[in-house]
Amino acid sequence: MLYGTTASGGTAGHGVVFSVTPGGSENVVYSFKGSSDGANPTGGLINIGGVLYGTTKDGGAPSGGCPGGCGTVFSVTTAGVETVLYSFTGVHDGAYPQSSLLKVGEKLVGTTQWGGDITCNKHQEFEGCGTVFSVTLTGTEKISYSFKGGSDGAYPFAGVISVGGVLYGTTGSGGAHNLGTVFSLTR
């Protein structure tokens, strides 16, 4: 069985987790409601012990910075039982995760496009230039790094990979020509 996400569609139009057989039979595993359960998953899924984990770009618990929610890290069983592990607040912990997750030890690691260091991008609608974060399987979130913009990079969209215990990823902006960076981050 193959599993994936769509950023829109489903019962409420806020995206789905789906399964498809190698022969092409598709089934909706979970349809996001667009509220506290999350909305608009854009990253891929990872399978840990038969449970799927991913992120939603929007939805989750409403916060001051994001009245409709700043995104979530979620789990969903193949039987369709969804659980929000963490709801982003849009300030120091990040906002709008769009990346797939990577399992590193007993934690899930990903990136948020916004939030983090509030001195970066201070006069825009959303403060902060993005983060690298980790979340335990029980929902404890920690910021591993907050991007500062400029030569440091800003606005990571994709997830990270691990090579020899070092995390690598990219940002969509910043760097010497403001066209993005490739970064490394020790654990």
Each residue's pLDDT tens digit, 30-83: 999 999 999 999 999 999 999 999 999 999 988 777 888 999 999 999 999 999
- Ordered by start, the domain boundaries in the chain are 2-186
Tell whether the model's pLDDT for residue 126 goes beyond 80.
no
Per-residue pLDDT at 56: 97
CATH homologous superfamily, domain 2-186:
TolB, C-terminal domain (2.120.10.30)
Tell whether the model's pLDDT for residue 127 goes beyond 90.
no
Query: Which residue, among 42, 179, 177, 9, has the nearest Cα to 110 in the 3D structure?
Result: 42
Q: What is the DSSP letter of 68?
A: T
**What would the two tokens of residue 23 be?**
């022969």
Query: Which residue, among 99, 106, 108, 104, has the nearest Cα to 71 in the 3D structure?
Result: 99
Tell whether the model's pLDDT for residue 102 goes beyond 70.
yes
pTM: 0.94
pLDDT band at residue 123 using 50, 70 and 90 as cut-offs = low
Q: Which residues pair with 83 in a beta bridge?
A: 75
Three-class DSSP category at 109? strand
Per-residue pLDDT at 125: 60
User: Average model confidence (pLDDT) for the chain?
Assistant: 93
pLDDT, mean of residues 143-149: 95
